[in-house]
Structure 1
Amino acid sequence: MKHFYLTKNVNPNYYSWLTVVMFVLIFQSAQAFDADCGGVPAWSSSQVYLGGSEVTYNGYKYQANYWTQNNNPEQYSDPYEHWTNLGACDGGGGGNTNQPPTVSLTSPSNGASFSSGDNITLSANASDSDGSITKVEFYQGATKLGEDSSSPYSFTWNNVAVGSYSISAKAFDNDNASANSSIVSISVTSSGGGGGSCDGLPQYSAGTSYTQNQEVANVGNKYQCNVPGWCSSSAGWAYAPGTGQHWQDAWSLVGECGGGNGGNEAPSVSITGPSNGSSYIDGATITIAANASDDVAVTKVEFYSNGSYLGEDSSSPYSFTWSNVGIGSYTLTAVADDAETSTTSNPVNISVTSDGSGGGGGDLPDRLLVGYWHNFDNGSGVVKLRDVSAKWDVINIAFAEPTTVHGSSMTFTPDNSIYSSTQEFKNDVAYLQNQGKKVLISIGGANGAIDVSSSGDASAFSSSMINIINTYGFDGMDIDLEGSSLSLGAGDSDFRNPVSAKIVYFIQGAQTVINNYGNDFVLSMAPETAFVQGGYSTYAGIYGAYLPVIYALRNQMDYIHVQHYNSGCMLGLDGMCYSQSTADFHVAMAEMLLQGFPVAGNPVDFPALRQDQVAIGLPASPSAAGGGYTTPANVHKALDYLIKGIPFGGNYSLRSSSGYSNFRGLMTWSINWDINYGYEFSNNHRAYLDALGSAPLARKAADINTVDFTEDFKVYPNPFENSAKIAFSVMEEGRTKLEIYNTLGRKVATLKDEVLSKGSYMVEWFPKDNTSGIYLGRLSVGGEVKTFKIYKK
């Protein structure tokens, strides 16, 4: 949130406008000099560049400022961006700048349908304006199917199995620059269902060892094993043919059973207890009960939590007693089996909290629309609180500020051009609260930098904030510290144990404020991306400076809405840099908090927050911020992917392909700018959030455990040539997944996906191709996750 009294009310780089203007003038004047581009390679979108690397592009020479990939030097050469413009090549002659090729798929057409076993011909047109095409590669998702080095470019994909596929082509020119085509979606369906008799075929069973091309029966169909390791996995929820989330990675559908097993009807099953949305206290014993029936006989009912097997019952009434259940949100399912088929129930969601009350924030809605209200006029116009739209759930009052510049004692007084008296403002706060709204006081803003760097400062901060909250009857506090308020000093290298005075004593002061109130006190945060996700690449100064605060207050924090605006390009978990205003940016930045991420120079990863603790902050209009405005349509694309797992065809791929159903909602700067822009934000996004329905959320759960893989975790050799070894320890028996992703976020290998006992393990990865570069590993053991980088020479 920005507090400048200007229409474009932000300075994202924390310098005065005069300094920026001077820098730009100096920067631009430097471009007037000619640059020697001899021997300097042309920029390639697929190449990874490190700080100091030089390239040519459109007749100019550029130098990388830090790690970058797929960021056009011409577009990303403003001050503080990825590239520095070193000047025109030899007077603007262009040097050896290469233009990338163009490519498009001509066949099959988007939406085309085929029958199982068909041979599908993929065709593409490709050209290069300043050279020649060396080859065109064809892909299904991230998997390369084949290539062609001569025009007309084509590849025949033989005996394609049933499924839905995303097809694309990639062209390379004689300077090794490349370009990707648009993605074409096709489907392959059963060619009539005549799978034949299933008599004598084994019924699929998770964990059973299956061989290549072995056939099994499941849910009335015949399936053939394609990948024995996955076919035989104990992860039935993932690879059970026809029902698992990833069954098409392991099996292909042969067809419907024409007899024998095919004549059997699948059983029916439903969970009768607990009811959807039930809440329990930490350590509870929960009895899960189910009804199941079948045209023959139900052999057993298995019970699962979040996809993990809990137990089973082979006699009616079917139930399982789950003891000493820890804090968290759980999705329960039951699977009924007969002799030949199985059926999974509809899910039931429950939550377990520390005290059964649902945690802090009292009766906050499950889906939140949060807006900031201006206690000043910055060009957007002003409005009294009583006239604020009822569509908002939380109204943040902007801002409480230090009584002196960079002070620690805070003050707030209603603007007398908006309110004639303090009592009138108090009455309006109470009016909103009587409507069921929460009204918070936000601290800081762009002009309200504070300095809490001693125990005396912490005391002054807490006592003044408690006085403000009590005076006006606010429901909680929003932490919107910007500028120099939080900064990491030299030697501060562990967000769990900060040593920088500004951070240590602010946490102390904030904790005192929180402790002064009960469980209904609402705590939210609104940092900028550099202060949070920026810690992934750099942990110094403002970069990552919010992480110790979030970590220290994570159990009291109801939700965080990082400002997805006024931001430079930011790295996602896939190692790619994404730009604001795009759906990819919103998804990538949000999932970093939902998954956790490595912090530069820190000994452990920053742990994931709960789904209900994460929201997104956006400008209400193009004038509300210096950049980052996103149309409602693109916001909804991002939310559909984040919440429902519905892809929109972007470059970023969710680590959790099914999405995050308990994602909390949206924040905007600001209510005033929303009014100014015709209520676009509140009207569109209120309707979207309401359409999601209510989801049971477990708020204020107890400690979020840090990832602890001990010193046994290592990757070696790194960089590697032919293979890399990943060593790790499992502290307690649990499901373990080890996956490798490329820098586009596409999974290239699954090395482990099974329940492992306590102990030490070593897995070796042999890449299927010889492509060099950076890969991202993701190791999850139980609920703990570690991401890491692997470099292939």
Structure 2
Amino acid sequence: MKTLYSFDRKANILLILLSFLITQLVQAQVDCSSLPVWTSSGVYTGDTRVQYNNVAYEANWWTQNENPASNSGQWQVWTSLGTCGTGGGNSAPTVSINTTGTSFTEGENITISASASDSDGTVASVSFYQNGSLLGTDSSSPFSYSWTNVAAGNYSLTATATDNDGASTTSSTLAITVQSDNTGGGGDCEGTASYVENGGYSPGSEVSNNGNIYQCRDYPNSGWCNGSAWAYEPGTGAHWQDAWTLVSECGGGTGGDNLAPDVSITSPSNGASVTPGSTVNIEASASDSDGSVTKVAFYQNGNLLGEDTSAPYTYSWTSVAIGSYAITAIATDNESATTTSSQVYINVSDGGNPNTALPDRVMVGYWHNFDNGSGVVKLRDVSDKWDVINIAFAEPTTQGGASMTFTPDNAIYSSTQEFKNDVAYLKSQGKKVLISIGGANGTIHIENAANAQSFSSTMINIINEYGFDGLDIDLEGSSLSLGAGDTDFRFPASPRVVYFIQGMETILNNYGSDFVLTAAPETAYVQGGYSTYGGIFGAYLPVLYALKDRMALIHVQHYNTGCMLGLDNQCYSQGTADFQVAMGEMLLQGFSVAGNPTAFPPFREDQLAIGLPASPSAAGGGYTNPNTVKQALDYLIKGISYGGNYTLINSGGYSGFRGMMTWSINWDINFGYEFSNNYRAYLDALPSSRWTLGTTQKDLGLHDGLTIGPNPFVNQVKLTLTVSEEREIYLGLYNQLGQEIKVLRKGITAKGIHESMFNTSELNTGMYFIRMIDGEKSETFKLLKE
């Protein structure tokens, strides 16, 4: 979480714009002789200057671990000042990194080498890093490092060269995979690592599978070899050759020429939903081209369910409990060669509203999949005071990309299965475990329909694989921004907003109503839209508006922010009781949006939580003493004033207020459990909330509504729209990817009954959606063409 920044709103915006214009107009070289080299661990405040890859930059606000080259420009944390030139008298060195391959076996020694040179001096040293951690440094050419006894895992290697004047350059990232030491695959493939799903493969990677050796093809999107929706297991299915090339059969050894069997699960279907207590009938198809299948074993989340020794291969799994499960089948042939099927995921839920599945008062905490100085903890050891645990973070495979990835940190978990077991353990305790996307370092750019598809498909795979209960949106930096001419949050026009919404709707359409969706935007992206709508200011509003009815919780980050306007047009500072109350009531009352006469609608009381740092070290600003926060909560919830400057519009308070969020569980432990102890006790002492669940949609009157028929349909559909009073209404037809196919109605609609027919003969068979926006109401209707 967190991009840390502080800004006096108008003054800093003007300064950033001025600096940007100067940068565009003046291309003079900069004297970098006195500028320190940027490092990922360094902490920089506004106006601090650094050099990076022979370019000078100036920080616009507080920042850490945000690469200047990737985070500079208008509305970004860094401003480029120009290239380092003769005034500095020094040019940065150049460096590239290499290894003998990209695929290794655990326990191997890996030699990492680097080519480095300096045009106006000498290279003093080259440091080698794996996943951002220093391995070692070599101060003489040829530059290399011998990494011994390497554990299994996926690694990102970089090399940083430093010259005799202290300038440094970091190489591009080299991804390598270290596989577990098993020769598997059904033949003798010793020396070539076995294929594993989500193996982190890149073009040129070689694996063994089903008795053969395959090489990942040289496609721009190496996700085709990995765990995206377009990934293919080598030698399996109809399309594996899109991603892999057959190199050779595995020869020699005890495996001989025996070919491993084929196996696939035919039932249930991937992503199937099952009610608790049901019996799941698992069926598999298995065959062996040069022998016979002796048995098929069935597993759920790696645990053996049972075996069948004769076709048709089946297993009846009875009384299935609530949870998410990965089912696999392993076929064994008459020469003991085995093959594991692709995983099939099922979700077992009661189909309830996500807010009914959450406690009356909720504590939300983020769990680090990394160590940023707070320390680490396994999920199984997380305090039971937390109701929702957000896993931080799923990130794009490349900065600014749309294809998402998540792998448990191997410094915390020895295996992916251990992490999955801990997720399942928390869920068995009644906790909700969500995957959070983005964070400070996970910039996501979804610019078009293809990006939206890549984003949604990879996130669905991640959610299914790990059994997450839902998704948390924590986009920061430039992930969401409003372009020129984008003035109406109800009808966004900026591609990064439009296509992110499409991707999210595709994800949500894959799950039931009990899927937990939350969001943790920064104040500028939400309340900032009250005074300014453009750039990052108000950029979350179209997303929150589109997904509002599916949102279980919104917990804006009440930290790392400057002065913010409340509904009384007074500016309040972070770290105060007034700030918590003013920012909270803005979401509970709704607010006008600059440049748009339509007000952003309020959230329900049960949807609102407040986000605060767990300790002074957890954020750049905004830590607030619990006694001050409790005063604010007493006023916001109970209407008991503390005598501050902000006066509640609803003087009696909002008794349905839902809870507290913190960054983070790890920092809470580091700070002696101050956050969880104080707010768990406070929330538990509150009386039962008065809110009632149900629709958040505007009451349109007794006769208002939309009917659609026939459904399923063939060549035409009739829409009957009943409107009790004149107002603006939008109806749009969308495909399964969330792409708008046709605008059916948009604009002021007169009072009365409106019937219309539209021809659907040109549509392909399959599922479609009609989206209706009517004032504060946003609703989606499913349609099926036969």
TM-score of the aligned structures, taking structure 1 as reference length: 0.46
Q: Which has the higher contact order (CA 8 A, sep 6+)?
A: 1
